[in-house]
Structure 1
Amino acid sequence: MASTVTRRSSRQLSGEDIVVETAWLYYHDGMNQNEIATHLQVSRATVVNYLQEARERGFIHIRLAPEAFTGHRLATELCSRFALKAAYVLPEGVERSEDQAQRVTRGAAGWLPGLLEPGDRLGVAWGKTIYDLAEQLEQTTIPALTVMQLVGSMATPYGFSADVCSSEVARKFSATCINLHVPAVLSTAEIAQTLRQEATIAHQLSAIRTCNKTLFAVGSCKHDSHVVSSGVATDAELDDYVARGAAGVLCGRFIDAWGKPIHGPLDERMMGIELEELTGKDMGLLVSVGVERVVAAVAALRGGYATHLVTNLSSAQAILELSEPA
Structure 2
Amino acid sequence: MAIRPAEQLIHKAAWLYYAHGLRQDQVASQLKISRASVAMYLRKARETGIVNISTSTQLFTDDVLARKLEDALKLDAVWIAPENGHVADPSTDIAVLAASVFLELVKKGDRIGVAWGRTVYTIADIMSYADLQDVTVVQLCGNLGAPYSYRPDQCTMEIARRLNAKGLNFYAPLVLTTEELARGLRAEPVIREQLSGIGDCDLALYSVGTVDADSHVVKCGALTAEEMAALRKAGAAGVIAGQIIDAEGKALDCSYNRRVISAALSSLRKIEKRLMVVQEDSKFEPLIAAITGGLCTHLVVGAHMARRLLDHAGPAAEKAS
| Contact map agreement 1:280 1:305 (CA 8 A) in 2 | no
Larger displacement relative to structure 2 (117-126 or 141-150): 141-150
Q: Counterpart of 2:37? A: none
- Structure label with greater radius of gyration: 1
Deviation of 1:75 after TM superposition, in Å, equals 0.8
Closer, same or farther: CA 313–14 of 1 in aligned 2, 3 Å:
same
User: In the aligned structure 2, how far is the partner of 1:163 from the partner of 1:267?
Assistant: 20
Larger displacement relative to structure 2 (123-132 or 138-147): 138-147
The secondary structure found in structure 2 opposite 1:285 is strand
* Corresponding letter in the other structure for 1:244: A
Q: Counterpart of 2:52? A: 61
Deviations 1:132-176 (A, max 9, x none): 111111110224211100011114474441101001111111111
Larger displacement relative to structure 2 (298-307 or 251-260): 251-260
User: In the aligned structure 2, how far is the partner of 1:164 from the partner of 1:261?
Assistant: 25
Deviation of 1:96 after TM superposition, in Å, equals 6.2
User: In the aligned structure 1, how far is the partner of 2:187 from the partner of 2:118?
Assistant: 30
Q: Counterpart of 2:297? A: 307
Deviation of 1:95 after TM superposition, in Å, equals 5.5
Q: Counterpart of 1:131? A: 121
| Contact map agreement 1:192 1:270 (CA 8 A) in 2 | yes
**Are 1:267 and 2:224 an aligned pair?**
no
The secondary structure found in structure 1 opposite 2:231 is helix
Q: Counterpart of 1:77? A: 68
Closer, same or farther: CA 295–94 of 1 in aligned 2, 3 Å:
same
Closer, same or farther: CA 96–322 of 1 in aligned 2, 3 Å:
farther
Closer, same or farther: CA 176–264 of 1 in aligned 2, 3 Å:
same
Q: Counterpart of 1:196? A: 186
User: In the aligned structure 2, how far is the partner of 1:323 from the partner of 1:235?
Assistant: 31
User: In the aligned structure 2, how far is the partner of 1:55 from the partner of 1:183?
Assistant: 35
User: In the aligned structure 1, how far is the partner of 2:213 from the partner of 2:185?
Assistant: 29
Closer, same or farther: CA 157–178 of 1 in aligned 2, 3 Å:
closer
* Corresponding letter in the other structure for 2:205: L
The secondary structure found in structure 2 opposite 1:138 is coil
Deviation of 1:200 after TM superposition, in Å, equals 2.6
User: In the aligned structure 2, how far is the partner of 1:76 from the partner of 1:238?
Assistant: 36
Among all aligned residue pairs of Structure 1 and Structure 2, give the percentage whose two residues are the same amino acid.
Answer: 33
Residue number among 201, 213, 217 corresponding to 1:227 in the alignment: 217
Deviation of 1:128 after TM superposition, in Å, equals 0.6
Deviation of 1:55 after TM superposition, in Å, equals 5.5
User: In the aligned structure 2, how far is the partner of 1:155 from the partner of 1:93?
Assistant: 37
Q: Counterpart of 2:79? A: 88
Closer, same or farther: CA 305–160 of 1 in aligned 2, 3 Å:
closer
User: In the aligned structure 2, how far is the partner of 1:63 from the partner of 1:196?
Assistant: 40
The secondary structure found in structure 1 opposite 2:301 is strand
| Contact map agreement 2:65 2:306 (CA 8 A) in 1 | yes
Q: Counterpart of 2:312? A: 322
The secondary structure found in structure 2 opposite 1:89 is strand
User: In the aligned structure 2, how far is the partner of 1:129 from the partner of 1:286?
Assistant: 10
Deviation of 1:325 after TM superposition, in Å, equals 2.6
Deviation of 1:252 after TM superposition, in Å, equals 1.4
* Corresponding letter in the other structure for 1:136: I
> Given the two structures, how large is their TM-score scaled by the length of structure 1?
0.80
User: In the aligned structure 2, how far is the partner of 1:323 from the partner of 1:63?
Assistant: 31
Larger displacement relative to structure 2 (204-213 or 277-286): 204-213
Q: Counterpart of 1:251? A: 241
| Contact map agreement 2:207 2:276 (CA 8 A) in 1 | yes
The residue correspondences of 1:212-223 to structure 2 (distance < 5 A) are: 212-223=202-213
Closer, same or farther: CA 138–64 of 1 in aligned 2, 3 Å:
closer
Q: Counterpart of 1:15? A: 3
User: In the aligned structure 2, how far is the partner of 1:65 from the partner of 1:160?
Assistant: 27
User: In the aligned structure 1, how far is the partner of 2:251 from the partner of 2:64?
Assistant: 31
Closer, same or farther: CA 55–191 of 1 in aligned 2, 3 Å:
closer
